[in-house]
Amino acid sequence: MINASLVELRRALDARQISSVELATLFLDRIAALNPQLNAFITVDRDGALTAARDADARIAAGQAGALTGIPLAHKDLFCTEGVLTTCASKMLANFVSPYDAHVVSLLKAAGAVSLGKTNMDEFAMGSSNESSFYGPSKNPWDPSRVPGGSSGGSAAAVAARLTPIATGSDTGGSVRQPAAFCGITGIKPSYGLVSRYGMVAFASSLDQGGAFGASAEDCALLLGAMTGFDERDSTSLERPVEDYAAALAAPASAKPLEGLRIGLPREFFGEGMADEVRAAVEAALEQYRALGATTVEVSLPNAKLAIPAYYVIAPAECSSNLSRFDGVRYGHRAAEYGDLADMYSRSRAEGFGDEVKRRILVGTYVLSHGYYDAYYLQAQRLRRLIAQDFQAALAQCDVIAGPTTPTTAWALGAMADDPVQMYLSDIYTIAVNLAGLPGLSHPCGFGAGSLPIGLQLVGDYFSESRLMNTAHRFQQATDWHQRRPACAQ
Amino acid sequence: MSRTDWEVVIGLEVHAQLNTASKIFSGASTAFGAAPNVQASAVDIALPGVLPVLNRGAVERAIRFGLAIGAHVAPTSVFARKNYFYPDLPKGYQISQMDLPVVVGGEITIRVGEGEAAYEKTVRLTRAHLEEDAGKSLHEDFHGMTGIDLNRAGTPLLEIVSEPDMRSSAEAVAYARALHALVRWIDICDGNMQEGSFRCDANVSVRKKGAAAFGTRREIKNLNSFRFLQQAIDYEVQWQIDTLEDGGTIQQATVLFDPDSGETRMMRSKEDAHDYRYFPDPDLLPLAISDEWKARVKEEMFDQIGLLPEDWRKKFVDQYGLSRQDAIALTPFPRAPIVFEDAALAAAREGESVTDVAKVAANWVINEYLPRWNASAERHPDIAIPEGVHGSIVGYLIRLVRENVINNKTAKDLFDEFWQRAEAKFFDSHGGTEHDVDRLIEERGLKQVTDSGAIEAIIDEVLAANPKSVEEFRAGKEKAFNALVGQAMKASKGKANPAQVNELLRKKLTG
């Protein structure tokens, strides 16, 4: 049951082979057993989950169940949850209980999904390894000496270890796709504006986007379908009809289901810096795609190499302002002792924020300063436009873009602790997608040394989520990488 | 060197609180005077994860302002974050507009001074932009601690920035008053200065007469009355001149005015100025204002308030031949020129045009109607006075005077009585109709006495009873004549036609 797909779980719940309470209990017990080692959850809400599960069982009994009614899930700990801690993995918010639900949380509650708790992450979503969490890093279920990736590392580890069938995440520069790749699961970051950011604690507002984790593209489709929809409380939320992503996957099977699909391979994503084992797995997956009927074409993203410098101006600039509200005045951490007002601010923030958060606030404050703004912030915005134009030019020649999600497999805990820039560079393939606001998906496509998973990234044009998930789904119908499980989930 | 060698240069920044029911980026109420923090929503207190949503009503008020001053209403403007830490600024930044404000340019005509010395001047506006207000820090009553009230946080403001076009405190005050009248006229701000709905910052500098370059300016913050504005500028100008004449230099600074001492004092120098790190707010899309939206706002504004003050003034001067001064006096708020037109129409006799009676109607509205309206408004700050005594009644009283049915004093007494009745009913009524006027004249016998015989009889009695005054007049004291006129009017119970009394009395005394 722990490895069942959402479709199978739905069938079992509807056929009363299992109740939602039993299902929630099954996963809660797994969390109790495995979380001490994996540290994937910051907060486990057993009581809340069982209450929600009982409500779901009543709905199922009344014949009013939707696709997610009674299905357990977990939320990244930056989605505000009423009455449950929302820490952003920071000491700053270690005591913060939100009085309201994020839009995504309320949509999933309304759908009858059962939240098991809140997952670990890099502090305020700043990091690629989960090591900046105030609660200590989550571990990679395939090898607990390795990082699960980040920033949504707890969600990815929890799904990979089957502590939950699905989980929410957020992706500012790769924070869904990279941990999905490191943990051997599927993750999707939709187009900017598709998922409301209301109640998702902001890191970099123009880049942040809620996303979905599941074992397969099909599970992601069911979860993402329930997360999207216009929200008038988010001015960047787009007014467009909600798509039924799962239904779109139901096309009849055929030998060449991807006939006619043109996959663009950016020259710049297959150059130096990629580990041989990653290259081999991605090449093999592309061969599989061709076998399914797709054709591949070389494309170019000439400005993609500028994505990291542009990102590390824009994201810190926005974060330096977004995190100003954490001042110790109204909620969150306040220093126990302080002198005057300025001292209260500096001590509270010095104590409440970790090193990576401080580093980015300092960078952001610097690039927005008088005399530097044009040279950094405005220049970065220009690069951002160039990068977006590159993608449009490339997507004129193909339907989806494919490449590695990450240059390497998961690294050892602490390996990059002294070299933040090296870690920033590891997001080379994912960051450009956020700058362009495009949807991106990572699915497992093989394993490297030490049985560490490798991910393949698909990128499409705006609002092509359905096409991305459908493409990955066809691949997954023909392969079993997405069904491989770490030892703890077998 | 004396003060006359120096030229004063003043520009004003006015924060007008827009009278929307809810805040600029949240649904919380903007009503004044609630218990602390009860009108602060999750957005206003900046909980983690909340986002701003722009209030269309605030934008429409900015559009109204742009239309009213002949400015460019930007098809695209951008909200920016102004970053600084303060406990009553919950997000750690204020959402404002920087590079691309919603209103650009425009001008306001002001009238400065009184009587012969009065002159007009056009003050150019630089821009007006939308922003949110901060909360309030309360430093009293908390035993050495500071209380924070976030009810005001997120209240919509229009910051209106003028060019440095004013050359005296009198001009600055005239501009502030004109702006204050305009924002109330177009109904975008209640103008309540005590509650902080209309606050002025004054940028003041001085330079030698004839100098091309401006002097270094100091900004006086938060002046919340016209009197303080005048006092603060006068003090600041003198201080700057004294400093320069003593061989000192002016440093750019922000200063505060202390109403108790009448002095300005330094708040912070340029060196301590914040670096606000402005950048476009990524939570808000650029504000797009289409021509259609602008046209709709214009139409709604016309439907609600009719002509703008400057349009009325042009009409009064060009069509009715009134002086510019009267035209300005007749346009303090949107209803006043309508009262005047109603009065002038009703005052005209058969065969007369409005132009023939415009001056007398204007005098009535300026000297009788508006002072009573202002006094009532002061007595009842909580009710909006729709009109009071109807303009047509004012005109009817004027017509009766001009037709010699009643004299001026009777007309004013009746008007006053009607006004008091209207006020007693909280202006739900006009206080009386034309029929009431006729009835009261009849019942009380208020009709003017124009029969020469009757007036002569009264005069004879008065002359007989006041031989001393008669003697004095004959000795050359003109004052004695006025006393005799007064006695005669009194004897007629105020009903005699004063012109006739004058004429007959003089004839009798000199004839």
What tokens were used for B165?
């076009």
> Annotated catalytic residue: which of A175, A196, A237, A426?
A175
- Would you state the pLDDT for residue B146? 87
Q: Which amino acid is at A328?
A: G
Q: What are the chain B neighbours of A232 within 8 Å (beta carbons)? A: 53
Q: Which of A76, A118, A139, A189 is catalytic?
A: A76
Which among A178, A182, A204 has a CA at the least distance from the CA of A192?
A204
Chain segment B331-371, per-residue pLDDT in tens:
988 899 999 999 999 999 888 989 999 999 999 999 999 99
CB contact under 8 A, B42 and A100: yes
Nearest to B49 among A200, A235, A318 (CB): A200
Query: Which residue of B85, B93, B285 is in closest CB contact with A345?
Result: B85
Residue B441 or A160, more confident: A160
Q: Which two tokens stand for residue A460?
A: 């499409």
Tokens encoding B309: 């003050």
Q: Which of B95, B13, B24 is nearest to B62 (CA)?
A: B24
Residue B2's pLDDT is 60
**Residue A276: other Cβ atoms inside 10 A:** 8
Touching check for A132 and chain B: CB below 8 Å? Answer: no
Annotated active-site residue A348? The verdict is no
User: What is the reported pLDDT for B495?
Assistant: 84
Q: B463-466, long-range: CB within 8 Å, 24+ apart, which pairs? A: B463/B508, B463/B509
| Whether ipTM exceeds 0.90 | yes
Q: How many angstroms separate the CA atoms of A465 and A224, rounded?
A: 9
Give A98's contacts in chain B (Cβ within 8 Å).
Answer: 47-49
DSSP A165: S
Segment B7-24 shows an average pLDDT of: 98
Sign of CA dihedral A288, A293, A298, A300: negative
Q: Touching check for A341 and chain B: CB below 8 Å?
A: yes
> If you compute the radius of gyration of chain A from its CA atoms, what whole number of angstroms results?
21
B279 Cβ under 8 Å from any chain A Cβ: yes
Nearest CA in chain B to A364: B277
For residue A16, the 8-state DSSP code is T
Q: Does B457 touch chain A (CB under 8 A)?
A: no
Strand partners, B496: B449
pLDDT at B295 over 90: yes
Whether A91 is catalytic is no
∠ CA(A33), CA(A30), CA(A114), 5° rounding?
135
**SS3 call for A442:** strand
- Flag if A369 and B277 touch (Cβ within 8 Å): yes
B256 with B222: CB under 8 angstroms? Answer: yes
H or E segment to which residue B142 belongs:
none
Q: Quick one: which H or E segment has residue A230?
A: none
Q: Which whole number is the average pLDDT over B399-413?
A: 91
**Tokens of residue B212, six digits:** 């091309």
DSSP B204: E
User: B395 phi and psi, to 5 degrees?
Assistant: -65, -40
pLDDT (tens digit per residue) in B411-428: 999 999 999 999 888 888
Q: Quick check: A477 contacting B, CB < 8 Å?
A: no
CB A121 within 8 A of CB A168: no
d(CA A198, CA A232): 9
For B48, which of A93, A236, A377 is closest by C-beta distance?
A: A93
Chain A residues in contact with B41 by the CB 8 A cut-off are none
Write out residues 86-125 of A within 8 Å (CB-CB) of B: 86, 88, 93, 96, 98-100, 102
Question: In the numeric block, which tokens belong to residue A100?
Answer: 């309201």
- Give the residue among B82, B182, B165 at the shortest CA–CA distance from B129: B82
**Which residues of B fall within a CB distance of 8 Å from A86?**
48-49
- Whether A175 is catalytic: yes
Complete DSSP assignment for A249-297: TTPPP-SSTTTTPEEEEEGGGGSTT--HHHHHHHHHHHHHHHHTT-EEE
The residue in chain B having the minimum alpha-carbon distance to the alpha carbon of residue A365 is B277
Question: Are the Cβ atoms of B53 and A197 closer than 8 angstroms?
Answer: no
Closest CB to A232 among B47, B49, B53: B53
Interchain proximity A235–B81, CB inside 8 Å? no
- pTM of this prediction? 0.91
- In this prediction, residue B271 has a pLDDT band, given cuts at 50, 70 and 90, of confident
B258 three-class SS: strand
What is the interface size between A and B, counted as CB pairs within 8 Å? 98
CB A209 within 8 A of CB A170: yes
Q: Is A456 helix (H, G, I), strand (E, B) or coil?
A: strand
**Closest chain A residue by Cα to residue B273:** A370
Say if residue B431's pLDDT is above 90.
Answer: no
pLDDT of residue B3: 67
- Helix or strand or coil: residue A465? helix
- Among residues A98, A151, A191, A206, the one annotated as catalytic is A151
Contacts 24+ apart (CB under 8 A), A241-245: A243/A465, A243/A466, A245/A221, A245/A465, A245/A466, A245/A469
pLDDT at B79 over 60: yes
CA dist list (Å): B58 to B156, B300, B448, B464 = 7, 15, 56, 73
A487 sits in which H/E element: none
Tell me the residues of chain A between 446 and 475 that have a Cβ less than 8 Å away from chain B: none
Query: Rounded to a whole number, what is the distance in Å from the CA of A205 to chain B's nearest CA?
Result: 6
The encoded tokens of residue B70 equal 């002949």
Q: Which residues of chain A have pLDDT under 50?
A: none
| Cα–Cα dist A318/A381, whole Å | 12
Cα–Cα distance for residue pair A206/A197, rounded to 1 Å: 10
Distance from CA of A364 to the nearest CA of B (A): 10
Q: Which residues of B touch A326 (CB under 8 A)?
A: 48
pLDDT value, residue A114: 98
Using the predicted structure, report yes or no on whether residue B1 has a pLDDT greater than 60.
no
- In this prediction, what percent of chain B has a pLDDT beyond 70? 99
